[in-house]
Amino acid sequence: MPRPMDLQSSPAQKTSASLREIRRLCVYCGSSGAVDRRYREAAGELGTRLAAAGIGLVYGGGRVGLMGLLADAVLAAGGEVTGIIPARLRDAELAHPGATELLVVESMHDRKRLMAEKADAFAILPGGVGTLDETFEILSWKQLGLHDKLILLVDIGGYWAPLRALLDHIVESGFARPETRGLLRVVPSVAAVIATLSAEPGPSRQVDPGLL
């Protein structure tokens, strides 16, 4: 099993790799807005800061919940939003009407594949089972060596403490190697997301759609 890219890079690799930039961030987050104010504020703050940093947003294309707040904030600050949504959800009028680009796909699987291809890195804000599904898929693809893109778990107010504990439990029980923890980087705030994206090189290779 390949080791995480974060642990593999030598200083020399880092220097040449830093010429690659993270230009588009895929954000997974809740479609519910009936949540703690801190989570709602984090979604808005991330959108504003992404636009200011010139980093485009790739996301599920919805107009509801944290997803909607995030996309609204990017657009209000003059940034670019690429929404990727299955036809069924668009037809249920859940698509964001203002997205710079709205890509309509057949299935949830197509959506997740395209989101992974289009982005240079991933960030996970608080969310529910849909967010967890996306998180574990992108994490397992990284564990299999199908991509080497940065994955940031944004632990606003400690929301993800149970998920972190579950990952520790999985490693301690022998179902994953200790290196698995390093496949996902925990950051405490939106400011730390932007600082990390600015400091990190982009991925060294694209997701190979043929392998997904």
Positions touching ligand AMP (CB under 6 A) are 28-32, 60-62, 64, 67, 85, 89, 94, 127-131, 134
Closest CB to ligand AMP among 67 and 139?
Answer: 67
The least distance separating ligand AMP from the CB of residue 60, rounded to whole angstroms, comes to 2
**Angle, helix 37-53 to helix 65-76, in steps of 10 degrees:** 30
Nearest approach, Cβ of residue 17 and ligand AMP (Å): 28
Query: Which lies closer to ligand AMP via its Cβ, residue 4 or residue 30?
Result: 30
* CA-to-CA separations, 65 to 18, 84, 156, 202, in angstroms, rounded: 35, 16, 16, 29
Q: Residue 6: which residues within 8 A CB-CB, separation 6 or more?
A: 150, 182, 183, 185
For 95, phi then psi, to 5°, come to -75, 145
Residue with smaller CB distance to ligand AMP, 58 or 150: 58
| Euclidean distance between the first and the last CA atom of the chain, given in angstroms as a whole number | 17
* Nearer of residues 5 and 193 to ligand AMP, judged by Cβ: 193
In the complex, least distance from residue 71 CB atom to ligand AMP, rounded to whole angstroms = 10
Q: How far is the CB of 5 from ligand AMP (least distance, A)?
A: 23
- Sheet architecture: strand order including 121-124: 101-105, 81-86, 56-59, 24-28, 121-124, 150-154, 185-187
Asked if residue 43 lies in contact with residue 69, where contact means CB atoms within 8 angstroms, the answer is yes
Is residue 77 within 8 A of residue 102, CB to CB? The reply is no
- Closest residue to ligand AMP, based on beta-carbon distance: 130
CB of 87 to ligand AMP, least distance (A): 12
Is the CB of 99 or the CB of 146 nearer to ligand AMP?
A: 99
Question: Tokens 């993800």, residue?
Answer: 160
